[in-house]
Amino acid sequence: MRGRCLCRAVAFEVDGPIQACVVCHCESCRRQCSAPMTAYIGVPGGQWRWLGKPPKIFNSSPGVERTFCEHCGTPLSFRSKNMSGVMHFFAAAMEEPETFAPTLHVAFEEKLPWLKLADGLPTRVGPDYTKDPG
């Protein structure tokens, strides 16, 4: 499975199957993507690679890497040491985003109040989808 930025300067490849697909409402993802919410897929280390030139990295907080294309600005991924270093690619950057349906909303306490959702998916406080609910 492959993904890319808008200008195609940065592309990446992911081995299947992915670990998870979740929608994140945290402020950091919201600001990085300039979008009310974003969906991303989790890919364990060693199961993905950049194709060609790697993207720029921005450290949004200690231990957190967020990447983007330096030419067109497309946000591509984030990775946190607190989440076992699993790579998270934004689902909308995948070549076939329709094949990645989210199963969970995380950081739901940060959801914008005017955003109304009716997908029936479970919600979770905080950003870590690997933790047990409650």
Q: Which residues make up the interface to Zn ion (CB under 5 A)?
A: 5, 7, 9, 24, 26, 29, 69, 71-72
In the complex with Zn ion, which residue's Cβ is closer, 8 or 49? 8
Closest approach of Cβ 106 to Zn ion, in Å? 7
For residue 26, the 8-state DSSP code is -
The smaller minimum CB distance to Zn ion, of residues 9 and 20, is found at 9
| CB distance 60 to 19 below 8 Å | no
Least Å from the CB of residue 73 to Zn ion: 7
Give the integer Cα–Cα distance in Å for 1 and 38. 19
Q: Token pair of 18, please?
A: 């992915």
Are 125 and 39 contacting, i.e. CB atoms less than 8 angstroms apart?
no
How far apart CA 54 and CA 49 sit, in angstroms, is 9
- Which lies closer to Zn ion via its Cβ, residue 21 or residue 26? 26
- Quote the CA–CA distance of 14 and 31 in Å, as a whole number: 25
DSSP 8-state symbol, 78: E
Q: How far is the CB of 4 from Zn ion (least distance, A)?
A: 8
- Which is nearer to Zn ion, 65 or 71 (by Cβ)? 71
Tell me how far, at minimum, the Cβ of 31 lies from Zn ion, in Å. Answer: 10
